[in-house]
């Protein structure tokens, strides 16, 4: 039994290998991009519009509103990154119901890649908003003694992001696989439905945590925003 | 190991590409469409607000105009009422004046008619009364009456005093015309002599008398000298009575007598 789709290598030349994770990722990217292209090709600027356009507008404005609720000003600056995080993880979770399709987020390589992206994006957005000195100063707040702890917190929360998502997605797929071999009919369906729910929750948690990290890095005042949980609270979620 | 670093790198790249692609084909078009729609809605709302403001301004303008019309109408109505009242008063005054004029005219006409009627009645009554009296006296006149009248004339001569007697005496002295003594009947000689004697004694000198008969004297004797007359006759009494009756028949006298009658009643 495969723990990760990385193990299914379809094509390999030297160190370069084309495994199932990458291929399924491309498939998801294709569905997302082509679906978006199909809907946005005939966008209506009037009140009357298609259901698909309504759906996409709800999704995009919903994500934008979530970013604003977390406390990020100029939410549109962060919308492509954070929105894509949510959509990719959510689409990956939803794809788990497709037979023979293994969600890319079930691969620790994918979740690590996403966590690395967040890990890099947070300081980039922080420096862009507060400057290099302002951002680095946040590591020695409230005192310089907190510097190692802040660095450890930065790394550990990135690791937690990756492992949490991977664990949930992989365990869900594993449980369904095991249950299919034991009780082939009803129980796997219920667990799959439960897996869809946990998958959507994980997508929400992953993108919200990323938003919180970015908000914490870009905030100008010392007092945390009421709606922003602390990094410790968020890592415990 | 379950982490394949090549796959990690590839997934990082895939994710960044997906971010760019979704930004290009999803977020931007959707946000643009929303922005344009919101802008159009905002323009519509602004247009609506503008139209509303214009409508409010127009409403205010029309309200002001309406108020001005109301005020003007009220003013015109007040003026019309005032003019109508003035005209009414003028017409009523004119009617009153015309009625008073007509009443005066009618009163005058009535008074004139009454006066004329009164005069006519008076005249006729007078004429009839005196005709009857004259006829009766004429019928009753005889020698003894003439004698009595002569005595009465002589008595009247003797009663003359003062300026009347002096004036008559002067005129009798200065006149060159004969002194005429008129009576209704031819006087007997005896009475003529008695009268001649009484005149001579009264005026202290001899006066020639000419005796004439005049039926209009009715019953009496009168002496004419230089425009002066000394007489006693029933005609004088009758004329005096006629004057009294005429005075009584005048409207003022009638009115006074009427008032006196009402006061008594």
Portion 36-55 of B in contact with A at CB < 8 A: 36-37, 40
* Rounded Cα–Cα distance for residues B173 and B163 (Å): 15
**Chain B residues touching A45 at Cβ < 8 A:** 33, 36-37, 40
Which region among A45-49, A157-161, B19-23, B132-136 has the lowest average model confidence (pLDDT)? B132-136
Instruction: Kindly determine whether residue A19 and residue B40, on different chains, have CB atoms separated by under 8 Å.
Output: no
A15 has a chain B CB within 8 A of its CB: yes
Q: What are phi and psi of B210, to 5 degrees?
A: -115, 120
Residue of higher predicted confidence among A165 and B84: B84
**pLDDT tens string for chain B (265 positions)?**
478 889 999 999 999 999 999 999 999 999 999 999 999 999 999 999 999 999 999 999 999 999 999 999 999 999 999 999 999 999 999 999 999 999 899 888 888 888 888 778 867 876 787 678 767 766 766 666 777 778 888 888 888 888 878 888 888 777 777 788 888 778 888 888 888 888 888 887 777 788 888 877 666 788 877 777 777 766 666 677 767 766 665 555 545 545 455 545 4
Instruction: Kindly determine whether residue B22 and residue A46, on different chains, have CB atoms separated by under 8 Å.
Output: no
Q: Is residue A233 predicted with pLDDT exceeding 60?
A: no
Are the C-beta atoms of B179 and B223 separated by less than 8 Å? Answer: yes
Q: Token pair of B96, please? A: 């009153």
Residue of higher predicted confidence among A183 and B82: B82
The total of structural domains in chain A comes to 1
What does the H/E/C string look like for A182-227? HCCCHHHHHHHHHHHHHHHHHHHHHHHHHHHHHHHHHCCCCCCCCC
Instruction: List pLDDT tens digits, range B43-96.
Output: 999 999 999 999 999 999 999 999 999 999 999 999 999 999 999 999 999 999
Q: Is residue A27 predicted with pLDDT exceeding 80?
A: yes
Over range A53-74, report the average pLDDT: 93
Reply yes or no: is the peptide bond before residue A151 cis, omega within 30 of 0. Answer: no
Are the C-beta atoms of B149 and B232 separated by less than 8 Å? Answer: yes
Instruction: Kindly determine whether residue A76 and residue B33, on different chains, have CB atoms separated by under 8 Å.
Output: no
Per-residue model confidence (pLDDT) at position A21: 92
Per-residue model confidence (pLDDT) at position B177: 75
* Length in residues, chain A: 237
**Chain B residues touching A76 at Cβ < 8 A:** 31
**Chain A residues touching B22 at Cβ < 8 A:** 32-33, 36, 80, 83-84, 87
**Chain B residues touching A104 at Cβ < 8 A:** 11
Per-residue model confidence (pLDDT) at position B11: 94
Candidates B7, B31, B35, B42, partner chain A, best to mutate (most A CBs within 10 A): B7
B81 has a chain A CB within 8 A of its CB: no
Residue of higher predicted confidence among B133 and A134: A134
**A42: domain range?**
5-236
- Summary mean pLDDT of chain A: 85
Over range A8-34, report the average pLDDT: 90
* Rounded Cα–Cα distance for residues B233 and B11 (Å): 177
A29 has a chain B CB within 8 A of its CB: yes
The strand pairing partners of B209, in sequence order, are: B179
Which region among A27-31, A145-149, B217-221 has the lowest average model confidence (pLDDT)? B217-221
User: Distance from B39 to chain A by nearest Cα, in Å?
Assistant: 10
Per-residue model confidence (pLDDT) at position B250: 58
Instruction: List pLDDT tens digits, range A97-106.
Output: 888 888 898 8
B25 has a chain A CB within 8 A of its CB: yes
Per-residue model confidence (pLDDT) at position A225: 46
**Chain A residues touching B30 at Cβ < 8 A:** 40, 43, 53, 56-57, 60
* Rounded Cα–Cα distance for residues B157 and B160 (Å): 5
Instruction: Kindly determine whether residue B22 and residue A84, on different chains, have CB atoms separated by under 8 Å.
Output: yes
Note the ipTM here: 0.88
**Chain A residues touching B36 at Cβ < 8 A:** 45
User: Distance from B57 to chain A by nearest Cα, in Å?
Assistant: 31
């Amino acid at each position: 039994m495969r723990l990760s789709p990385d193990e299914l290598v379809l094509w390999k030349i030297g160190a370069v290998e084309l495994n199932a994770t990458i291929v399924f990722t491309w498939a998801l990217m294709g569905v997302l991009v082509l679906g978006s292209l199909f809907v946005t090709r005939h966008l209506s600027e009037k009140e009357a519009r298609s259901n698909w356009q309504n759906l996409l507008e709800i999704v995009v404005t919903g994500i934008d509103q979530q970013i604003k609720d977390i406390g990020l000003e100029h939410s549109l600056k962060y919308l492509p990154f954070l929105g894509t995080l949510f959509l990719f993880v959510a689409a990956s979770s939803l794809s788990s119901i497709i037979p023979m399709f293994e969600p890319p987020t079930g691969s620790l390589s994918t979740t690590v890649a996403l966590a690395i992206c967040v890990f890099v994006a947070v300081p980039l957005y922080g420096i862009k908003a507060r400057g290099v000195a302002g951002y680095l100063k946040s590591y020695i707040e409230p005192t310089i003694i907190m510097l190692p702890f802040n660095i450890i917190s930065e790394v550990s929360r990135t690791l937690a992001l990756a492992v949490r998502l991977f664990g949930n997605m992989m365990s869900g797929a594993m449980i369904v696989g095991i249950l299919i071999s034991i009780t082939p009919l009803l129980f796997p369906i219920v667990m799959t439905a439960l897996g869809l729910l946990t998958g959507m929750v994980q997508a929400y948690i992953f993108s919200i945590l990323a938003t919180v990290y970015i908000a914490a890095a870009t905030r100008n005042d010392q007092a945390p925003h009421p709606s922003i949980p602390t990094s410790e609270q968020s890592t415990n979620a | 190991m379950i982490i394949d670093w090549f796959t990690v790198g590839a997934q990082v790249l895939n994710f960044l590409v997906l971010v760019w692609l979704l930004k290009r084909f999803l977020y931007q078009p959707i946000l643009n469409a929303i922005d344009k729609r919101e802008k159009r809605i905002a323009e519509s709302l602004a247009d609506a607000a503008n139209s509303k403001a214009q409508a409010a301004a127009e409403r205010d303008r029309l309200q002001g105009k309406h108020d001005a019309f109301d005020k003007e109408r009220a003013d015109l109505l007040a003026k019309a009422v005032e003019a109508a009242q003035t005209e009414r008063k003028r017409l009523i005054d004119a009617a009153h004046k015309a009625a008073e004029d007509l009443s005066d005219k009618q009163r005058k006409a009535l008074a004139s008619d009454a006066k004329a009627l009164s005069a006519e009645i008076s005249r006729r009554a007078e004429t009839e009364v005196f005709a009857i009296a004259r006829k009766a006296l004429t019928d009753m006149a005889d020698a003894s009456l003439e004698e009595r009248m002569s005595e009465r004339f002589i008595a009247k001569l003797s009663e003359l005093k003062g300026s009347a007697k002096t004036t008559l005496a002067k005129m009798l002295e200065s006149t060159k015309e004969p002194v005429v003594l008129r009576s209704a009947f031819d006087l007997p000689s005896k009475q003529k002599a008695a009268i001649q004697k009484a005149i001579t004694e009264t005026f202290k000198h001899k006066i020639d008398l000419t005796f004439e008969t005049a039926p209009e004297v009715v019953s009496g004797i009168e002496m004419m000298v230089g425009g002066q007359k000394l007489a006693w006759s029933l005609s004088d009494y009758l004329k005096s009575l006629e004057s009294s009756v005429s005075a009584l028949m005048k409207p003022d006298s009638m009115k006074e007598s009427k008032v006196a009658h009402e006061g008594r009643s």
